[in-house]
Structure 1
Amino acid sequence: MLEKELKNEHVEFLLEEPSMVNLLEIILPKILPEGYLLDINCFLRPHQGKSDLKKSVPSKIRTFSNFYRPAKVIIIHDQDSNDCKELKKELMELCKKNGNCPVLIRIPCRELENWYLGDMDAIGKIYPQFRSRSHKYKAKFRDVDNIFGAFELEQIIDDFQKGYASKNIPKFMDIKSNKSISFNQLIIGIQKFLGG
């Protein structure tokens, strides 16, 4: 892409953990609207957990509200056991108190691993012993956003490791047919927020 085709805009993804970086490095090039490129005008900023992420939000929002070019911030924060709407409201209020740059907040329902459960075939590609067909039609996996994904994956895959999974499962994920509603909301939200 030629430099003149790049959007004169800076996009910061504020992320709870490095595992989300692994996923987004694979997914974003497939979904970012034209004019946006990772490490050129879109940047992934991992944090060391929820408290570190929340602590950094005020200063980041102040910085990007007064940035040398237009800036947007996308915050991705796991729900875990929080009320999704309350968590999103809390983060949005924190942003509004500290600046006025455009902000998109997305909450993976429960946690990142739920998004993997939304595409069981992708899991089966990196864990050959995992039989996706025997799991994807089970009642408890019909609504993958309402279970604790990491716990479930550890129960059904003996050698499940978060880091390995985050670097490999996304390579095989079918973005258009993921069963996780929160994953689909992330994709739609990013594209709409960035004008795609």
Structure 2
Amino acid sequence: MHIEVLVEDSSGEKLLQVLLPQLIGPQGNPHTWRLHAYKGIGRIPSGLVTKADPAKRILLDQLPKLMRGYGKTPGIDAVVIVLDADKRECSEFLSDLKTAAAACNPTPNTLFRLAIEEIEAWYFGDRDALLKAYPRAKLDVLGKYVQDSACDTWELLADAVYTGGSAAIKKTGWPLPGQVKHEWAIKIGPLMNPDRNISPSFGKLRDGLRQLVV
């Protein structure tokens, strides 16, 4: 099976590069995949008509066009799209995504998975990996986190592991937030064990991918 995997940013891409072999086997043995990182999530266009500039690489802005293209492309067995839910109502957002995919003709075999609220929730879901990567993390801050809650997840992780916390990152501004998220993916990702992760949204990604390739 060949799978196209779309993720809204490059830090998510870094994490999935590590996790996909654990979830569906090494590249090419027997399954293959390609990862595509975008530069933001955007929104599903009105009327499912893509008008945004593709060069800007905003994922949902391009979703209808992408789905139609994948549906017509031989050799693509499935499309997996991984997104942050952010502050959206998850069931409504997921319904909108599925409706947009179903409206494409032909419709590719598509799996949508949402990180609740952000992909950093998956690091909290594997506390052992997080603490191995950051043994001096502030345990009192980590203890405030309620798994898969809408609580400014990346900021809370930054408060636990980054000198000066999220306030220092925000004060410095772009591109530091992206750089810090890249560091987390690189340092925590290789230490993660998908089968011990307690994040419900990560569990849905893990189980969905495994069912996809059965």
Taking structure 1 as the reference length, the TM-score comes to 0.84
Give the equivalent residue in structure 2 for 1:119: 126
Matched, 1:13 2:5: yes
Give the equivalent residue in structure 1 for 2:213: 194
Deviations 1:49-105 (A, max 9, x none): 101110221122111111122431111110010001111111111111123111100
| Residue from 108, 130, 135 that aligns with 1:128 | 135
| Residue from 157, 161, 165 that aligns with 2:161 | 157
Q: What is the aligned-residue identity percentage?
A: 25
CA distance in 2, matches of 1:70, 1:48: 23
Change (3 A) 1:22 1:70: closer
Letter in 2 for 1:129: R
Corresponding residue pairs, total: 181
CA distance in 2, matches of 1:12, 1:185: 18
Change (3 A) 1:94 1:181: same
Matched, 1:57 2:76: no
Alpha-carbon distance, 1:128 to partner: 2.6
Name the SS of the counterpart of 1:76 in structure 2: strand
The answer (yes or no) to whether the contact 2:141–2:159 under 8 Å persists in 1 is: no
CA distance in 1, matches of 2:157, 2:90: 22
Letter in 1 for 2:147: V
Alpha-carbon distance, 1:117 to partner: 0.7
The answer (yes or no) to whether the contact 1:114–1:148 under 8 Å persists in 2 is: no
Matched, 1:175 2:166: no
Alpha-carbon distance, 1:10 to partner: 2.7
The 5-angstrom pairing of residues 87-98 of structure 1 reads: 87-98=93-104
Letter in 2 for 1:81: K
Letter in 1 for 2:101: C
Letter in 2 for 1:28: L
Structure 1: give runs of 5+ residues left out of the alignment. Answer: 1-8
Deviations 1:147-167 (A, max 9, x none): 332011111223472110011
CA distance in 2, matches of 1:11, 1:54: 18
| Residue from 9, 14, 17 that aligns with 1:25 | 17
RMSD value over aligned CA atoms?
Answer: 2.1
Alpha-carbon distance, 1:37 to partner: 3.3
CA distance in 1, matches of 2:193, 2:138: 17
Taking structure 2 as the reference length, the TM-score comes to 0.77
CA distance in 1, matches of 2:133, 2:212: 32
Give the equivalent residue in structure 2 for 1:77: 83
CA distance in 1, matches of 2:156, 2:138: 14
Change (3 A) 1:37 1:20: farther
Name the SS of the counterpart of 1:169 in structure 2: helix
Give the equivalent residue in structure 1 for 2:72: 66
